[in-house]
Amino acid sequence: MQELISNLIANLIFIFERLSWLSVIDILLVAAIFFSIFLLLRGTQAMVVLRGAILLIILVGTLTSLDILPAFSWMVRTTFPALIFVIPVIFAPEIRHALERLGRAGLLKSTEQSAGPIEEMIKGIVSASARLSDKRHGALIILKRKDNLDEYILTGVRMDALVTPELLLQIFYPNTPLHDGAVIVSDLRIVAASCVLPLSASGVLDRSPDRQMGLRHRASLGITEVSDSVAVVVSEETGAISIVHGGRMIRRLDSERLENILKAFFLKLERKSLFQRLLSSKKIDEQKAPGDQSL
């Protein structure tokens, strides 16, 4: 045991003696890449799979480093190339999601819209959610942001209608043809209703202290795990209003909090740069100049 510890210490000293500033940059770069991957997969089912894969790699790497297991080492070296092809298959949705984000980052075209119509849309959703909550009518409203939701829109009934409380109340009225499923809102319009969404398998709801959350809540978590959309859920059992984003849920919201959160997501406050503020203040001073001469 002492010999093993001595060898370990000697190896560590050998590594630190050969460490240079380029090596430090190399290590930090690799660490940043792994951190970005973990941040991207955080809160998804893929994170659980990745955690298990890392533990398995560490265990296998430790066993293959031992000279007393030559047959096991040969088997691992033989099957390792096949794992390189298996990983993209397992993480295909997450890889596609990451590539979509990278592709959007290079777009110069602005997709922002004026605040007035967005506020009207938010007020319509908040009003409908409050009235659905009072009547305990279940509802699931998905608000598209930047990620493409066409594959889920195709599963529903196309509508292309303005967002109004009355229309949302009619859609989610119990036992109507469109009440079962999700409404997807894109570009300030209801593009489809009765849409089928992926269910979350992350286990967030299983760890919840109460068990009133059903398929609507699982679907809201599922769609926000694979996209950057925002989901508004009204519970059929309790009437509680929840909002979901990034695989995380805020529950028991009132109308005011729901409206404030939606505005935080979809309304961007104008922030002037220092140069713009100096320029505007200069214009104000120039406008005041004629009046200042009389002082």
Q: What is the DSSP letter of 187?
A: T
Nearest to 222 by CA among 236, 205, 207: 205
d(CA 255, CA 126): 6
The answer to whether 252 and 242 have CB atoms below 8 angstroms apart is yes
- CATH no., domain 115-266: 3.40.1700.10
Q: Per DSSP, what are the bridge partners of residue 158?
A: 192
Whole-angstrom CA distances from 227 to 50, 87, 178, 287 are 19, 21, 23, 49
Q: Which of 98-102, 225-229, 259-263 is predicted least confidently?
A: 98-102
Nearest to 182 by CA among 165, 194, 198: 194
Mean pLDDT of 275-284: 43
**pTM of the predicted model, to two decimals?**
0.60
Question: Is the predicted pLDDT of residue 200 greater than 50, yes or no?
Answer: yes
User: What band does 14 get if pLDDT is binned at 50, 70 and 90?
Assistant: confident
Where in the chain are the domains?
2-105, 115-266
Q: Which of 82-96, 148-162, 265-279 is predicted least confidently?
A: 265-279
